Amino acid sequence: MKLDFIEIGPCDFDTLYSQAGRREQKGIVIEPTLEYYKKIPKNFIKHRFAMSDHNGFETLYFLESSDIKKYKLKECCKGMSSLGLVNPHLLRILKEQGLEGIVKKRKVKTFTISYLIDKYKISEIMLLKIDAEGYDGRIVRSMINDFKCGKIKILPRYVIYESNLLMSEEERELTHTCLIGVGYYLIQRRDGNREYIKL
């Protein structure tokens, strides 16, 4: 299967699937939060699990949209679901209002990029876009390690991932080095994202 994109953790804003909806494109969308998962159009392959550097389980921390509205929180709070711990930015916002107790959590299945490639017999990926609130680097490095050891035979042409304060400078540099090591070039840094192309 040839894919135009794999999108991980889109929430419901600035999504590839909404832009692709106007064109005939094939894509896989991964969104662990039920409310946003339901918004993904049926013409894309969609899964309600989380992407990680291992196949297993993790705890997802998130806010219900009803609580975001009820407490008049910033719109960006809905995109701050995170694995393993409460998003520090979200926690800061909630602490300011004494609302730490509204964070919900649930166990979610986790899978790797390699799992998707194997499951769908993917032969080509044009774009991989990741917004995993701190797990971005782990996902990218896991994919590259699987490629290097021969577990997968392909890599996406373009990789875009979120590179913000949730990722340490050391992890950011490690992820960059991994990408450069398999032939990617950094083409742009903007809005907290890094964009790479494989030539």
Output the pLDDT for position 20.
66
Q: Tens of pLDDT along 127-136?
A: 999 999 889 9
Output the pLDDT for position 21.
56
Together in a domain, 148 and 172: yes
Q: What are phi and psi of 194, to 5 degrees?
A: -120, 135
Together in a domain, 166 and 129: yes
**Residue 45 near residue 31, CB atoms below 8 Å:** no
CATH of the domain at 165: 3.40.50.150
Collect the ranges in the chain with pLDDT lower than 50: none
Together in a domain, 113 and 168: yes
Domain boundary among 87, 106, 125: 106
> Total domain count for the chain?
2
**Residue 153 near residue 190, CB atoms below 8 Å:** no
Domain boundary among 66, 88, 106: 106
For the chain, what is the radius of gyration of the CA atoms?
A: 17
Instruction: Indicate the SS3 state at residue 184.
Output: strand
Together in a domain, 97 and 114: no
Together in a domain, 139 and 191: yes
Structure tokens at 39: 């918004």
Domain range holding 101?
Answer: 57-106
Together in a domain, 137 and 102: no
What is the pTM (predicted TM-score) of this model? 0.92
Together in a domain, 17 and 99: no
DSSP 3-state helix, strand, coil percentages of the chain (rounded to 5)? 35, 30, 40
